[in-house]
Structure 1
């Protein structure tokens, strides 16, 4: 099976390319009406895709042909029954990354790597103790930011509907909507003040790269990469080129809590840091190996320290593993997540989608990091107090008040002095 890095996803949670229908395997030729009238055909189509492409030829030691007979012998009266059967069938693989998405889930997932979304521009989290929906932060220059939504605001109602018992996904589905339409958020602030925020939805561009010139050790370029979306490589190039004009002596690349994204983004970004050597190899179930190499297009050769932690996964591990194996960077932080599998995401005929694990990847030195992760060169574990302090005040991230960053600066200073 030929693999193209542009169609592959390596997120810790499955996230998809905005142009994912290009790998639809011709399914759209039958049209949505066909699958809606014949839900059994959709079940069989999913089975066929898994049969042809799944990375494990034993299908987790499941008799996959018998599985087909079992599920095609069932009667299906509507799409929902077919969806339930498909999810049940995929559970036999015991692979959390191979999964079915109904049309709504598939549409929502496509925005994760497209680089833009439609909504009001807030990042949500669920309090572990109270289950309340809390605003992590409003995204700058978005409707929520301009309306006055603040970090730590608690959303208690959406268009008058209480959020009690509501999941993040359910809340997101209610908040998102067409450009120009409105949503009313009821906010509890400081546990005492209730405020109504009518907000008009807009198209929001997501920027995965944040960077700054740090006046330390003669000038350090600090780059934080939050995900490997479709626009990540372009923004990374702009960041490096800008910092180079400011004559930085070295770089700190922050990949902490970066869950991954598109494989080709990680490859393109790796090529910005070194000229020669391999980046990653992907191996499918036939043993076919596709190797991605540096191409002589490095933008800088200055010292580099990379920050990683347990939230650095997949594409983050590809990039950090490549930099480590090629002796291009020193890794500081804690063990990475350990997700070394690659998914292909396909649009199905009725508007639903399927993510299929089709390959595993290896670092340049041949390391299979799945479930193992990548060990940093310098281990720096944050205490619970330090972690909580950074969570409550995110402006401290990437400053000397951030212990892992402070260690990165120390290492970078040693490298600059050695040069």
Structure 2
């Protein structure tokens, strides 16, 4: 199961935008590929065009189609791209929010704050951010490593620059760690791919206090989100979800660390699997949430592998926190709101100090 199969591109606050408030109703055209509406398409003989039509006609704002390689990248923590992430600014422009050090974009001189004007000749501000990201990564056709993408970028007050970047395989670096104060580990989880829970466990080992930074965390694999919760819980519920009408419970095994003080940083880019994790730690009174209200995506996508190895992800249900809350549409409210988002880390450190530190 996947909570938030959003393309791995570091979704900062507002990076993906809200789904349309009045999405198209589910269409009987799901039979376009010979599939009855609501049936699991696993194993179906669908062409790429049929699969994409099934996604577009489903009325599901979170439905997605992945080539075999793109889905392997998504779950493995690697991706094909040029090493930049984008946000949609308030004025509707598409701005560069992150640049991967030593990646193709960085080598070409792209910097945070640059405006992305065109991608392969198409105006970026006329595309959903998710489609911009998809095109950077090779598009639905799954262009291979070494393929190129043409960009037009502009720095504030500067000329428009035309660039041609060559895609390469990059590590997603889903978990990053620093130490903002002696004995304090700030563990930032950008997405939940294979191995993330183990990385968080290793990063938290020996810390006297932990800031678990879920700001801009875009979701991912449910087992990794549940496994990350289990790092800080001694057994018990993590949450539950429905998949095609069948209720399933997520539980943590015994033996997690319940002694180290824990603060979780959240914002409007904290979504899906990251919201499940934050909600579990909040409901279990294991952590204090600091920041701003989370995105509000409580839906569950089920990956279905087609006959050619490609994957369709369709929404099959909703998840709930251990207390039975669903963040869908409303998000999770922090215990300690940060009036100034830029000061959330400092506020988190003050809250952590108030909780004491492990000796």
What is the TM-score with the length of structure 1 in the denominator? 0.66
Distance 1:344 1:15, change over 3 A: farther
1:46–1:354: 8 Å Cα contact kept in structure 2? no
User: Could you list the per-position Cα deviations for residues 256-314 of structure 1 after superposition, in whole angstroms to 9, with x for gaps in the alignment?
Assistant: 2223211111111111112222212234465x543222223425731001112233222
The residue that corresponds to 1:278 in the other structure is: 237
Q: How many residues align?
A: 329
Segments of 5+ residues of structure 1 without an aligned counterpart are 1-7, 17-38, 53-77, 391-401
- 1:296 lines up with 2:236 in the alignment: no
Aligned twin of 2:197: 233
Rounded to whole Å, the distance in 2 between the matches of 1:319 and 1:310 is 15
Q: State the structure with more CA Rg.
A: 1
RMSD between aligned residues: 3.6
Take 2:295 and 2:133, find their aligned partners in 1: how far apart are those partners? 27
Alignment of 1:214 onto 2:214: no
**Structure 1: distance between partners of 2:274 and 2:186:** 17
Distance 2:83 2:55 in 1: 33
Cα distance in 2 between the residues matched to 1:220 and 1:408: 11
Measured after TM superposition, the shift of residue 171 of structure 1 is: 7.0
CA 1:130–1:325 in 2, change beyond 3 Å: closer, same or farther?
closer
Q: Larger % of strand: which?
A: 2
Pair 226,118 (structure 1): closer, same or farther in 2 beyond 3 Å: same
Q: Could you say which residue in structure 2 is the equivalent of 1:96?
A: 61
SS at structure 2 position matched to 1:317: helix
Distance 2:166 2:64 in 1: 32
Question: Is residue 49 from structure 1 mapped to residue 13 from structure 2 by the alignment?
Answer: no
Task: Return the offset for 1:325.
Answer: 2.2
Q: How is 1:188-199 mapped onto 2 (pairs within 5 angstroms)?
A: 188-199=154-165
* CA distance 1:96–1:240, change in 2 (3 Å): same
Q: CA deviation at 1:156?
A: 4.2
Query: Does 2:216 match 1:257?
Result: yes
Give the 3-state SS of the residue equivalent to 1:47 in structure 2: coil
Assess, with a 3 A threshold, how the Cα gap between structure 1 residues 129 and 116 changes in structure 2: closer, same or farther.
Answer: same
CA distance in 1, matches of 2:30, 2:262: 54
SS state of the match for residue 34, structure 2? helix
Structure 2 gaps, min length 5:
9-28
Q: Considering fraction of residues, name the structure with more helix.
A: 1
User: CA 1:192–1:173 in structure 2 vs 1: closer, same or farther (change >3 Å)?
Assistant: same
